[in-house]
């Protein structure tokens, strides 16, 4: 699984040159087609992000956050994209991703509408989802798409290219595979955490739980691999280990990583721990058998095994892997992640819609 064969790979008469190229290309080539110079036009794959781009996004996010603290700055932000429209098309449940994109678009002055069930669009009358998306793109400048199918957002990009509709798409979660904006906000949180202590380079990060089906964990791993000398420890039951494509990605990049069935093997050495929820919504498609999730949960004993300055992250929603009492532990950072997510998305939208330089130089 997981070798992403982009798009439909169907070339037909009447396709534009770019759309034809898209349909025929490898992942690397597709990634090139989804950007103009250094600027992303769409964000579908976490692999589109580079270290340089992340640093720029984090600068923009910090700057936007500071600007918004004053009335004048907030008005400046609101004037960045006043005539632009965003549509959130969410075909899987969401709390933080949905609300933070909604807030991010509003902070930049965009208007924002949403469709959160196929029953509320013409899909219920039998319209194909891609026809719906093409229609959305005619009324909106930016489509933010969350969908259970791993390649749906990519197919939407292909459709827009075929139809020569030059609007933008951001994946807000694509099946088990991709969640690039969650990865951005997770690394942004680490970067803020370590900014006065030498940065993310050289850190040891432990990632725990459902690593086979968790798109958030996957995105985080892809992005950690962009940092120098980061060491990644992975703790999960056998049935939830990272998939071969990700293992090969880490090996190709010479990233040092270790795997174990037990988080206790690594917990004492970690500078940051990223906990994840069991992704049981995928049980039918990707069964994992019975698992004792207490082995992948934080307890008082495990908190006492952690370094005093280790940060605890979680993409949320959490279940019992982080009991509520951990919120009072000074090392917990998952509520900060929630806020950072909004600023990271402000910065990403500003990058894609080309007003980020204005924000950074304000």
Q: Note the residues at the interface with ligand NCD (CB under 6 A).
A: 96-97, 173, 179, 182, 215-216, 277, 315-317
The strand pairing partners of 312, in sequence order, are 273, 332
CA angle, residues 94, 98, 100, in degrees to nearest 5: 130
132 DSSP β-pair partners: none
Q: CB 177 → ligand NCD: shortest distance, Å? A: 10
Q: How far is the CB of 279 from ligand NCD (least distance, A)?
A: 6
Handedness of CA 332, 335, 341, 346 (dihedral sign): negative
Closest approach of ligand NCD to the CB of residue 192, in Å: 18
Which residue number, 67 or 105, has a Cβ lying nearer to ligand NCD? 105
- Least separation, in Å, of the C-beta of 210 and ligand NCD? 8
Q: Of 102 and 179, which CB lies nearer to ligand NCD in the complex structure?
A: 179
Q: Which is nearer to ligand NCD, 145 or 216 (CB)?
A: 216
- Are 104 and 355 in contact by the 8 Å Cβ rule? The answer is no
Task: Calculate ∠ Cα 157-79-167, nearest 5°.
Answer: 10
Nearer to ligand NCD, 96 or 114 (CB): 96
Minimal distance, residue 294 CB to ligand NCD, in Å: 18
The pair of structure tokens assigned to 197 is 């202590």
By C-beta, is 6 or 334 nearer to ligand NCD?
334
Of residues 47 and 231, the one with the C-beta less far from ligand NCD? 47
In the block, tokens 């605890």 appear at 312
| The two structure tokens encoding residue 196 | 């006065």
From CA 52, how far away is CA 12, in angstroms rounded?
Answer: 37
Residues in a beta bridge with 35: 40
List phi, psi (to 5°) of 282. -100, 10
Nearest distance from C-beta of residue 219 to ligand NCD, angstroms:
9
**C-alpha separations of 210 from 105, 271, 336 in Å:** 31, 20, 22
Q: Is the CB of 220 or the CB of 355 nearer to ligand NCD?
A: 220
Q: Which of 46, 42, 62 is nearest to 343 (CA)?
A: 62
What is the arrangement of strands in the sheet containing 256-260, beginning at the earlier edge strand? 256-260, 231-235, 204-208, 272-275, 311-313
| DSSP single-letter state for residue 322 | S
Half-sphere exposure in the Cβ direction for 63 (13 Å, CA): 20
Provide, rounded to whole angstroms, the least separation between the CB of residue 337 and ligand NCD: 8
Least Å distance between CB 282 and ligand NCD? 11
Residue closer to ligand NCD (CB basis): 23 or 222: 222
């Amino acid at each position: 699984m997981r070798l992403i064969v982009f798009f439909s790979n169907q070339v037909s008469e009447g396709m534009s040159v770019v759309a034809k190229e898209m349909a025929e290309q490898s992942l690397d080539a597709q990634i090139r087609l989804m950007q103009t110079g250094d600027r992303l036009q769409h964000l579908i794959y976490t692999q589109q992000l580079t270290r340089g781009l992340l640093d720029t996004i984090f600068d923009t996010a910090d700057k936007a956050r500071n600007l918004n603290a004053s009335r004048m700055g907030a008005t400046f932000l609101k004037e960045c994209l006043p005539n632009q429209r965003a549509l959130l098309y969410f075909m899987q449940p969401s709390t933080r991703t949905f609300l933070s994109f909604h807030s991010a678009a509003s902070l930049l002055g965009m208007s924002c509408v949403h469709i959160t069930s196929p029953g509320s669009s013409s899909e219920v009358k039998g319209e194909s989802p891609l026809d719906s998306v093409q229609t959305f793109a005619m009324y909106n400048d930016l489509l933010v798409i969350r969908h259970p199918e791993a390649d749906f957002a990519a197919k939407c990009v292909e459709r827009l290219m075929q139809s020569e509709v030059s609007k933008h798409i951001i994946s807000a979660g694509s099946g088990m595979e991709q969640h690039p904006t969650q990865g951005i906000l997770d690394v942004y949180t680490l970067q803020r955490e370590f900014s006065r202590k030498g940065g993310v380079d050289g850190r040891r990060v432990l990632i725990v739980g459902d690593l086979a089906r968790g798109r958030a964990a996957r995105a985080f791993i892809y992005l950690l691999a962009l940092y120098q000398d980061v060491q990644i420890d992975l703790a999960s039951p056998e049935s939830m280990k990272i998939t071969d494509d990700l293992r090969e990605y880490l090996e190709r990049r010479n990233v040092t990583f270790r795997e174990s069935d037990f988080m206790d093997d690594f917990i004492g050495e970690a500078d940051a721990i990223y906990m994840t929820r069991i992704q049981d919504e995928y049980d039918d498609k990707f069964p994992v058998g019975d698992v004792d999730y207490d082995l992948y949960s934080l307890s008082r004993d495990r908190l006492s095994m952690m370094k005093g300055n280790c940060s605890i992250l979680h993409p949320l929603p959490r279940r019992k892997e982080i009991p509520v009492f951990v919120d009072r532990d000074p090392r917990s950072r998952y509520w900060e992640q929630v806020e950072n997510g909004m600023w990271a998305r402000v910065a990403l939208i500003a990058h894609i819609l080309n007003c980020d330089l204005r924000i950074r130089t304000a």
